A and B are shown apart, each in its own frame.
Chain A
Amino acid sequence: MRKILILDDEDQYIVSLRDFLHEFGYHVCIAMSSSQALEVIKEDKPDLVLFDYKLPDMDGEGFLKKAKEISPRTIYILITAWNDVATLERFIKLGVTDIMLKPIDLEKLLKDIKALLKHK
């Protein structure tokens, strides 16, 4: 079973997203802070991490760098409301595989996840 980790500070949002992905057979963990997320990544080595970088007191790029060190084979998808092109480019350079803007297109997310995990 494929493991997914969702990182965001809005609890209703990540719970809803978790329930959705669960319906399609994914095992989903949630984290509300980058430190919590790094712990889960270290322990579980999830296949996929969905994260937003605009969390309070969070250095998104720092988190991604550390996460990739701990678990390089994990696929990272950035899901964010912020469409500042320069920042998105930086995240792509740091190794984010896919970017989705909020509000999420759930069908597209499902399709992308399926495709990305198939290649793995």
Chain B
Amino acid sequence: RPLDDFLIRSTDKYLFQKKYDYRHVIKEFMDDLKTMVLNMNGIAQSTVDFFMSSIRPASTAVFIYNKFTNKYDLIASSGLEDKDYKISSDTKLMKALAHTGKIIRTDSKTLITSHERDRLKELGIELIIPLLAHKELIGILCLGKKKSDEHYTEDDIGTLSDLSGALSISLKNAQLFDDRADAEKRALVGTIAMGINHEVGNPLNIITIKLETFRILAKEGMMDKKSKDEIMKEVDDIIKVCLSSAQRISEITKQVAEFAKPDRKIVLGKVNVGEAIDETIAVLKHGMILDADVIEKRFMCDPVYAVADRGQLKQILFNLIKNAAHAIAAEKGKITVSVDMNDNGEVTIKVIDNGCGMPQEVRERVFTPFFTTKDPGKGTGLGLALVKIMVDRNEGRIKVESEEAQGTTFTLAFKGGLL
């Protein structure tokens, strides 16, 4: 129906001539880019969605450089037939894009080989926009024909050039963030592996020696000259040492499993702090970790809620109070758990002990995985590292203050309020 088509095309032509709106909308998107979630795929998809809903070309595609294959992978697109398309970085086109940083039209006769041009036309791509960050071509943005079938004008190119700058910076930041997160994860895995080697390796070593000793002595006939009592005493010692070594292995396995647990869904909700504390103390008393009279509660405000995952808040308190109990064990000190609200509208929970305290070198490393001042076999060094991770996941804060021979205070802060 030629009249309808004509009317539709004219309207589109008219709409696209409203350059002011077009540029305004792009500027808004550029501002959004600055606040967008730091994730490359998310940014690429948002970009595709933006173009498809505002400027509405026949297709939009974002390709990102893959350093492992030296090709540009398609990570977000709409209107493109071939989703597995990869572009090699050694082509004339890509080199031109990287070198000039200029937007290239697919009908350019000089910057693309005819083979490349045919392929791109097949995919319906009209415009290739380089995404350069610090002279590095981290990706390209491809646009298909404009809805009105017109060519992209020089003004269009200028606007898109500005956008490509902002887009490149966003993508580069997201990439750096991902790289750093990966590096942190790898470092953590390394630390855990070393810790396991030590905490499992040593107990196994001890078990091996005790059992092998008995076996070898028996084999060499050296048991014959020992009395029955001596042998029974030896067996008893072997069993005791092996069991306690097994216990050590069990302990570290549990802790590491907890540590490496895949990010379980955290359910943040309003948790009654008083109840959480009472329930945690009940568990500690039941497990005989805590004596009845040693702990005192001091609630400056009650009832009060903290925005946190209930189970994790209790686990955090459990680990902190258990540590405090160990700190005061020798001198029969006291533990105080206090709850208050600070000026920032946060709920603060303090676990205070008047035990041996820590020197500055220890205090600075107290949240480091596997850092422990306890004797081998008496602590894995993961308890507080876990606490820190859980506090971070629950969008809270934790700090430690300590004076040698005076005591230690751990202060937690969470969003919260009066119930």
* A and B interact physically: yes
In the complex, per-residue mask of B170-212: 1 if CB is within 8 Å of any chain A CB, else 0: 0000000000000000000000000001100110111111101
Whether A19 sits at the interface, judged by CB under 8 Å, is yes
A19 to B233, CA, bound (A): 14
A108 to B: closest C-beta gap in Å: 10
Taking a contact as CB atoms under 8 Å apart, the answer to whether B204 and A12 are in contact is: no
Taking a contact as CB atoms under 8 Å apart, the answer to whether B201 and A81 are in contact is: yes
Complex interface: chain B residues within 8 A of A19 (CB)? 213
Whether B245 sits at the interface, judged by CB under 8 Å, is yes
Whether A102 sits at the interface, judged by CB under 8 Å, is yes
A54 to B202, CA, bound (A): 12
Taking a contact as CB atoms under 8 Å apart, the answer to whether A12 and B213 are in contact is: no
Whether B36 sits at the interface, judged by CB under 8 Å, is no
Whether A9 sits at the interface, judged by CB under 8 Å, is yes
Whether B216 sits at the interface, judged by CB under 8 Å, is yes
Question: Number of residues in A with C-beta < 8 Å to the partner?
Answer: 20
User: Which of A11, A16, A103, A107 sits near B376, CB closer than 8 Å?
Assistant: A11
Complex interface: chain A residues within 8 A of B377 (CB)? 12
Looking at chain B's contact residues, is the secondary structure mostly helix, strand, loop, or mixed? helix
Taking a contact as CB atoms under 8 Å apart, the answer to whether B205 and A81 are in contact is: yes
Closest B residue, CB atoms, query A110 = B216
Taking a contact as CB atoms under 8 Å apart, the answer to whether B209 and A106 are in contact is: yes
A23 to B: closest C-beta gap in Å: 6
27 contacts between A and B (CB under 8 A): A9-B376, A10-B205, A12-B245, A12-B377, A13-B205, A16-B213, A16-B241, A17-B209, A20-B209, A20-B212, A20-B213, A23-B222, A54-B198, A81-B201, A81-B202, A81-B205, A82-B197, A103-B207, A103-B208, A104-B205, A104-B208, A104-B212, A105-B212, A106-B208, A106-B213, A107-B216, A110-B216
Closest B residue, CB atoms, query A9 = B376
Complex interface: chain B residues within 8 A of A82 (CB)? 197
A88 to B201, CA, bound (A): 18
Whether B239 sits at the interface, judged by CB under 8 Å, is no
A82 to B377, CA, bound (A): 19
B372 to A: closest C-beta gap in Å: 11
Extra 13 A-B pairs, beta carbons < 8 Å, given A12-B377, A17-B209, A104-B208: A10-B206, A10-B376, A12-B241, A13-B205, A16-B206, A16-B209, A81-B198, A82-B197, A102-B204, A103-B205, A105-B212, A107-B212, A110-B216
B70 to A: closest C-beta gap in Å: 31
Closest A residue, CB atoms, query B377 = A12
Whether B217 sits at the interface, judged by CB under 8 Å, is yes
Question: Number of residues in B with C-beta < 8 Å to the partner?
Answer: 20
In the complex, per-residue mask of A80-98: 1 if CB is within 8 Å of any chain B CB, else 0: 0110000000000000000
Complex interface: chain A residues within 8 A of B201 (CB)? 81, 102-103
A59 to B293, CA, bound (A): 46
Complex interface: chain A residues within 8 A of B217 (CB)? 23
Q: List which A14-32 residues lie within 8 A (CB) of chain B.
A: 16-17, 19-20, 23
Shortest Cβ-Cβ A-B pairs, 4 listed: A103-B208, A106-B212, A16-B209, A20-B213
A13 to B241, CA, bound (A): 10
Taking a contact as CB atoms under 8 Å apart, the answer to whether B197 and A12 are in contact is: no
Taking a contact as CB atoms under 8 Å apart, the answer to whether B197 and A16 are in contact is: no
A12 to B197, CA, bound (A): 17
Taking a contact as CB atoms under 8 Å apart, the answer to whether B206 and A23 are in contact is: no
A102 to B210, CA, bound (A): 14
Taking a contact as CB atoms under 8 Å apart, the answer to whether A12 and B208 are in contact is: no
A54 to B204, CA, bound (A): 17
Complex interface: chain A residues within 8 A of B206 (CB)? 10, 12-13, 16
Complex interface: chain A residues within 8 A of B212 (CB)? 20, 104-107
Taking a contact as CB atoms under 8 Å apart, the answer to whether B222 and A13 are in contact is: no
B244 to A: closest C-beta gap in Å: 8
Q: List which B236-250 residues lie within 8 A (CB) of chain A.
A: 241, 245
Closest B residue, CB atoms, query A102 = B205
Q: List which B310-354 residues lie within 8 A (CB) of chain A.
A: none
